[in-house]
């Protein structure tokens, strides 16, 4: 008897939902396989290990994201090489929103993956990200830099991560944040609004004039 969707996919979907809610370490393979209604051994069979499953989840999210950004950027660059930050960020948000339409939790788990990748002991996952996706996003980043305030290379590095932090933190925890905001989680319109709210803030952050003088030591 055939299942409507195959085992590997069922596992990935269940894993995304649980990773988003609980984090990776906190999610057990028993939880994943119970949620997916598959055998406990199926994860190791299909993905070799729990880490293998994490990588699979990563790919399933990053590939279409990179694809969409690359295509959108290429299209836009065809008409003009001058793109404003607002437009670039809207491109990104659109792509994130499409990822989120795969299923409810994918955006949250995606951001948690980025969080994880920056942890000290996750050099392997970090290398996976860098080697696989850094080249594909390079031209997008160069466009960002072009419309940001003029600044040294390392200043831009930090600004980028400030902004990445804002996005990752917010989207990792938007379920909690919506509750704190005293509004109940209704539909994906919520997430669209949050993404939209970010654009002017991120733009301003990247365009702010850098300070040159330290605040006095203590």
Partner DNA sequence: TATGAATGAGCGTTCATTCAT
Partner DNA sequence: AATGAATGAACGCTCATTCAT
> Interface with its own copies by CB under 8 A: which residues?
21-23, 25-26, 90, 93-94, 97-98, 115, 118-121, 126, 154-155, 157-159, 161-170, 172-173, 175-177, 180-181, 192-194, 196-211, 214-215, 217-218
- C-alpha to C-alpha distance for 87 and 203, rounded to whole angstroms: 10
Out of its own copies, DNA, none, which partner does residue 46 contact, by CB within 5 to 8 A per kind? DNA
Answer with the entry of its own copies, DNA, none that 192 interacts with (C-beta below 5 to 8 A by kind): its own copies
Partner from DNA, its own copies, none contacting 22, C-beta within 5 to 8 A by type: its own copies
Degrees to nearest 5, angle at CA 126 with 199 and 164: 15
Interaction between residue 3 and DNA (CB under 7 A): yes
Q: Is 2 in the site for DNA (CB under 7 A)?
A: yes
- Judged by CB under 7 A, the residue of 12, 13, 14, 38 near DNA is 38
Helix locations, the chain, DSSP H:
7-22, 29-36, 42-47, 50-79, 85-102, 106-117, 123-147, 153-172, 174-180, 188-207
Closest distance between its own copies and the C-beta of residue 4, in Å? 26
Q: Does 124 bind DNA (CB under 7 A)?
A: no
Strands (E), 46-117: none
Does 43 contact DNA by CB under 7 A? yes
Residues 6 or more apart in contact with residue 139 via CB below 8 angstroms: 73
**Three-state DSSP state, 118:** coil
Residue 13 DSSP SS3: helix
Choices 5-13, 76-84, 108-116, 133-141; region in contact with DNA by CB under 7 A = 5-13
Q: CA 102 to CA 80: how far, in whole Å? A: 31
- CB closer to DNA, 24 vs 129: 24
Assess 45 for contact with DNA (CB under 7 A). Answer: yes
- Tell me how far apart the alpha carbons of residues 99 and 65 are, in angstroms, rounded to a whole number: 7
């Amino acid at each position: 008897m055939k299942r409507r969707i195959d085992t590997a996919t069922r596992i990935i979907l269940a894993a995304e939902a649980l990773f988003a809610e609980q984090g990776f370490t906190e999610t057990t393979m028993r939880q994943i396989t119970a949620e997916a209604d598959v055998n406990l051994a199926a994860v190791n069979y299909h993905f070799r290990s729990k880490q293998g499953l994490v990588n699979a989840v990563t790919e399933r999210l990053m590939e279409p994201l990179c694809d969409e950004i690359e295509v959108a950027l290429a299209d836009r660059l065809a008409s003009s090489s001058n793109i404003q930050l607002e437009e670039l960020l809207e491109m990104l948000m659109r792509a994130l929103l499409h990822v989120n339409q795969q299923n409810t939790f994918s955006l949250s788990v995606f951001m948690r993956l980025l969080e994880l990748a920056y942890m000290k002991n996750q050099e392997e996952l970090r290398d996976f990200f860098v080697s696989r996706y850094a080249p594909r996003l390079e031209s997008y980043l160069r466009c960002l830099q072009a419309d940001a305030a003029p600044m040294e290379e390392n200043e831009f590095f930090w600004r980028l991560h400030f902004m990445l932090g804002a996005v990752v933190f917010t989207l990792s925890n938007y379920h909690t944040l919506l509750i704190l905001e005293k509004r109940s989680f209704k539909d994906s319109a919520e997430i669209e609004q949050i993404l939209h709210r970010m654009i002017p803030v991120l733009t301003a952050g990247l365009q702010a004039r850098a300070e040159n003088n330290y605040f006095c030591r203590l």
